[in-house]
A and B are shown apart, each in its own frame.
Chain A
Amino acid sequence: MDALHGLPTHEKLKQAFRLEAGTVQRYLYFARIADIEGFPDVAQTFRNLAESGICNAQGNLDFLKRVGDPDTDLPIGETDLNLTAAISATILEQTESYPLMAKVAKEEGLLDIANWFETMTRTKKVHEQKLKKALAQLAAVRQEEPK
């Protein structure tokens, strides 16, 4: 186990990863609006910064890779590990995260948002299947490799 594991800095890296990943998405969203409003220069600034954001987010993953997937804490690094972690994450999302979100939204009477979360649950099921298929194909390729 890497020394980083479980330290407060480990938590901070996860937090930094989420911050940067979130920044990328927000900037891309803002860029589109700037484009529509007719401010291509602003849009370009947002896009350029989003590009840096991708680099920054992945910089956190460079460290996190030593201790595990920020979402599932499962080991990541090589493709079969990454697929396995991604599959667990989709399962977690469809069985816990999104159903809980949908429940909260429903309780608050925000039924359109609840339906949006439910839609996500279904999407994640499909993603789980696709990732599992990729993992099976990877295993099959490995089988064929000369010993």
Chain B
Amino acid sequence: MSTASTPPAAREETEETPSPARPRTDRYDASSITVLSGLEAVRQNPGMYIGSTDLAGLHHLVYELVDNAIDESQAGYCQRISVTLWADGSCAVEDDGRGIPVDLHPLEGRPACEVVLTKLHAGGKFKRQSYQYTAGLHGVGLSCLNALSEWLVLEVWRDGFHYRQPYAAGQVAGELAKIGPSDRRGTRITFRPDPRIFGAGLALSAPTLVSRLRELSFLNPGLHIRLLDQGSGEEREFQYDSGIAGFLRHLNQDAKVLHPQPLALRLAQPGVDIEVVMQWTAGYGENILSYVNSINTVHGGTHLSGLKNALTRTVNRYASEIGILKAENGEHISTFDILEGLTAVLSVRMETPSFEGQTKTRVTNPELKTMIDEGVSGALLAALRADSRLAAQVVARALDASRARLAARRASERIRIQSVDTRVSKEVYQRQFGIRSQNWHQSAVWIANHALLAEHVQHLPSGHYPRMLDVCCGSGVVGASFKGRVGTTFGLDLTPEMIALARTRLDHLSQGTVYQLPFRDNTFDLVVNREVLHLLPNPERPVDEIFRVLKPGGLFIVGQILPFGPEDAAWMYRVFKKKQPLIFNMFQEDDFRELLLGAGLVDLTMSEYRLWESIDVWIDTHETTNLHRHEIRELFYQAPQEVREVHPFEILPTGEIRDLWRWCVFSARKP
């Protein structure tokens, strides 16, 4: 087998004269070694500096400028920051700080502002004289931004004058000029992202900037931030004096909180200042935001693990102190259960943060972990001991979570055993859908999305449909969307909770199982169903039942989320099973067709819709345990290349994941 290959050495020998067609430039000597100037290197490999050249990278450019202004404010010199989006795609960031120095740099012999805009690793934050706490450090922000901008205009107001200097693709396009006298102070940088780098289709978006700017204004109380979108004329202003306590209130504004007064504490050591606020809610998600010098550490780090450690240790310690937990019998409340429903903001200011990677999403200073772990443990234990009502609520919440997790696990164990006779136990479904959330269906946009429902209805050819059945109707939204096109609407569901909800939407409701529909043969002109069959063991049985109750000529319209292909099916299986342990099938398109045709249905058609949805919302239900929520996010973060090639999803700079559902609506007729 190996004879097909010739070792390279032998090949060269036979090649005595170089082919004349080949130019001599492929010589490999000193002339082949390219030395890219710093800025060319940035243009060639932008991802290394700003993370990516997609939307996230594009917005990162603005954040570099805003971060510089924030640093100016953290140093005590800037009160106002203004961001303007211009209709031509350019953006201006202005502050009233000290202004980037314009005097000649002693070594470079050029104005200092020109040096920081054209040389990598030039800046005033390496030494801690001019700035104490900073987001910037490496002195690459401005020069990268400049390199990745089609054009950029720098304006500085300082020392009684207004200065201006233009740049193009990172290069100086004119000398620094004194425009005239001025008593203002500050910096304004206007730039247009280079479409050759970011693609012409990408544009800066005000709503994306809003959340970051709002967060920054909470983190820097008193600072005034303005966002003006010249395209829409919309203007937003942010100024909060409430700090992270206000931020927490904002985050929890729609949540049902467990205790009215958040836990707040502050820890200070020379060079480090830490603030934490925490409040538990009745929700299932865990929402802990962590910052170091106003940088959002999306991937956490030592500060976050210190906090988690402290919470776990302290809640366990307190629970066994008051005798709720028998620690000596090995009883233990897990970190997941304690974090369930917790909203927290952790803000660290420190002189010497160290980060992992270029995008600064994870902090690594080991001293943070001990400081926060010890500080928070002590303060939290004191708070729990001092307020027995609060303590009881926090501990009960965690125990409740741990019991629900066990119940969920037991539910999925039970159903395995019962699935031998393919009957789904009502109690199991009730435990999964009924107890803690009456409106689980709201967690999934595809169920309630009106446009999609309308498309669903489009599948119904005009005609006469006296009786329609919405099978496994849930809250009845699917069936209800057919109203006006059909006569009497019937609904069937297993749980009384869902039936009660559906009563407001459908005419007649029956409680029962889809494995044995409580209707006579040939009863319905139309049966509809969405996103249920994958939850049912032996799905061919319910489809047979649906076939049975359809009148000859009657139509079955069924919607189902399907993987894009076999490439993402196993991955989606894992994601869905973690979202909801009751899943039994990850249908692929041909499986699903076979399922319908196998029952005897004919005239099968299918339409496909694509729908973006936030994963965080989708998994915020009690059927998804906290561990599973984390694991689902990890599955997206670490999705294999093979999956990424076929299955679009995006991870926003905030760490939020948006997935594209492939929503397929099938319709088929009973002959």
Complex CA gap A139/B304 in Å reads 52
Distance in Å: Cβ of B417 to nearest Cβ of chain A: 7
Q: Is B261 an interface residue (CB 8 A)?
A: no
Do A38 and B308 touch (CB < 8 A)?
yes
User: Which residues of chain B have C-beta atoms less than 8 A from A111's C-beta?
Assistant: 419, 537-538, 584-585
A109: which of B15, B309, B419, B583 is its contact (CB, 8 Å)? Answer: B419
Identity of the chain A residue whose Cβ is nearest the Cβ of B339 in the assembled complex = A38
Identity of the chain B residue whose Cβ is nearest the Cβ of A116 in the assembled complex = B573
Complex CA gap A122/B302 in Å reads 42
What are the interface flags for B530-544 relative to A under an 8 Å C-beta threshold, 1 for contact and 0 otherwise?
Answer: 000000011000000
A12-20, A29-37, A60-68 - interface stretch: A29-37
Secondary structure dominating the interface of B: helix
B66-74, B78-86, B130-138, B626-634 - interface stretch: B626-634
Complex CA gap A80/B2 in Å reads 8
- Tell me whether A80 and B335 are in contact in the complex, defined as CB-CB below 8 angstroms, given that A109-B419, A119-B569, A126-B566 are known contacts: no
Q: Kindly identify, within residues 570 to 587 of chain B, every residue whose CB is under 8 Å from any CB belonging to chain A.
A: 570, 573, 577, 583-586
Identity of the chain B residue whose Cβ is nearest the Cβ of A124 in the assembled complex = B566
User: Which residues of chain A have C-beta atoms less than 8 A from B336's C-beta?
Assistant: 36-37
- Tell me whether A110 and B419 are in contact in the complex, defined as CB-CB below 8 angstroms, given that A40-B305, A122-B566 are known contacts: yes
User: Which residues of chain B have C-beta atoms less than 8 A from A32's C-beta?
Assistant: 631, 634
Q: Is B27 an interface residue (CB 8 A)?
A: no
Do A37 and B420 touch (CB < 8 A)?
no
Do A109 and B417 touch (CB < 8 A)?
yes
Complex CA gap A38/B306 in Å reads 8
What are the interface flags for B414-430 relative to A under an 8 Å C-beta threshold, 1 for contact and 0 otherwise?
Answer: 00110111000000000
Complex CA gap A26/B569 in Å reads 22
What are the interface flags for A54-88 relative to B under an 8 Å C-beta threshold, 1 for contact and 0 otherwise?
Answer: 00000000000000000000010010110000000
Q: Is B129 an interface residue (CB 8 A)?
A: no
User: Which residues of chain A have C-beta atoms less than 8 A from B304's C-beta?
Assistant: 38
Identity of the chain A residue whose Cβ is nearest the Cβ of B310 in the assembled complex = A38
User: Which residues of chain B have C-beta atoms less than 8 A from A120's C-beta?
Assistant: 570
Complex CA gap A80/B3 in Å reads 11
Interface size counted on chain B using CB atoms at 8 A = 41
Distance in Å: Cβ of B354 to nearest Cβ of chain A: 14
Do A125 and B335 touch (CB < 8 A)?
no
Complex CA gap A33/B335 in Å reads 11
- Tell me whether A115 and B11 are in contact in the complex, defined as CB-CB below 8 angstroms, given that A36-B630, A78-B1, A78-B2 are known contacts: no
Identity of the chain B residue whose Cβ is nearest the Cβ of A109 in the assembled complex = B420
Q: Is B14 an interface residue (CB 8 A)?
A: yes
Do A33 and B627 touch (CB < 8 A)?
yes
Identity of the chain B residue whose Cβ is nearest the Cβ of A78 in the assembled complex = B2
- Tell me whether A37 and B334 are in contact in the complex, defined as CB-CB below 8 angstroms, given that A110-B416, A115-B584, A119-B586 are known contacts: yes
Q: Is B5 an interface residue (CB 8 A)?
A: yes
Do B570 and A123 touch (CB < 8 A)?
yes
Residue with the highest number of chain B CB atoms closer than 10 Å, among A108, A116, A119, A126 = A119
User: Which residues of chain B have C-beta atoms less than 8 A from A146's C-beta?
Assistant: 6, 11, 14-15
Q: Is B567 an interface residue (CB 8 A)?
A: yes
Distance in Å: Cβ of A13 to nearest Cβ of chain B: 23
Distance in Å: Cβ of B632 to nearest Cβ of chain A: 11
Identity of the chain A residue whose Cβ is nearest the Cβ of B305 in the assembled complex = A38
Complex CA gap A80/B5 in Å reads 10
User: Which residues of chain B have C-beta atoms less than 8 A from A116's C-beta?
Assistant: 570, 573, 586
Q: Is B588 an interface residue (CB 8 A)?
A: yes
A39: which of B14, B305, B569, B585 is its contact (CB, 8 Å)? Answer: B305
Complex CA gap A79/B577 in Å reads 37
Identity of the chain A residue whose Cβ is nearest the Cβ of B312 in the assembled complex = A38
Q: Is B378 an interface residue (CB 8 A)?
A: no
Complex CA gap A119/B566 in Å reads 8
Distance in Å: Cβ of A41 to nearest Cβ of chain B: 9
Do A119 and B15 touch (CB < 8 A)?
no
Do A125 and B416 touch (CB < 8 A)?
no
Q: Is B195 an interface residue (CB 8 A)?
A: no
Q: Is B451 an interface residue (CB 8 A)?
A: no
What are the interface flags for A109-147 relative to B under an 8 Å C-beta threshold, 1 for contact and 0 otherwise?
Answer: 111100110011011011000000000000100100110
User: Which residues of chain B have C-beta atoms less than 8 A from A75's C-beta?
Assistant: 1
User: Which residues of chain A have C-beta atoms less than 8 A from B302's C-beta?
Assistant: 40
Do A112 and B565 touch (CB < 8 A)?
no
Do B14 and A80 touch (CB < 8 A)?
no
Distance in Å: Cβ of B346 to nearest Cβ of chain A: 13
Do A37 and B417 touch (CB < 8 A)?
no
User: Which residues of chain B have C-beta atoms less than 8 A from A110's C-beta?
Assistant: 416, 419
Q: Is B36 an interface residue (CB 8 A)?
A: no
Do B566 and A80 touch (CB < 8 A)?
no
Identity of the chain A residue whose Cβ is nearest the Cβ of B585 in the assembled complex = A115
What are the interface flags for B317-335 relative to A under an 8 Å C-beta threshold, 1 for contact and 0 otherwise?
Answer: 0000000000000000011
Do A80 and B308 touch (CB < 8 A)?
no
Complex CA gap A125/B566 in Å reads 9
Q: Is B21 an interface residue (CB 8 A)?
A: no
Q: Identify the B interface with A (CB < 8 A).
A: 1-2, 4-6, 11, 14-15, 302, 304-305, 307-309, 312, 334-336, 416-417, 419-421, 537-538, 565-567, 569-570, 573, 577, 583-586, 588, 627, 630-631, 634
A-B contacts besides A38-B312, A80-B2, 18 pairs, CB < 8 Å? A33-B627, A36-B631, A37-B335, A38-B305, A38-B307, A80-B4, A81-B1, A112-B537, A112-B585, A119-B570, A119-B573, A119-B586, A123-B566, A123-B567, A123-B570, A126-B565, A145-B4, A146-B15
18 A-B residue contacts at CB 8 Å? A33-B627, A38-B304, A38-B305, A38-B308, A75-B1, A78-B1, A78-B2, A80-B2, A80-B4, A109-B417, A112-B416, A115-B586, A123-B566, A123-B569, A123-B570, A145-B5, A145-B6, A146-B14
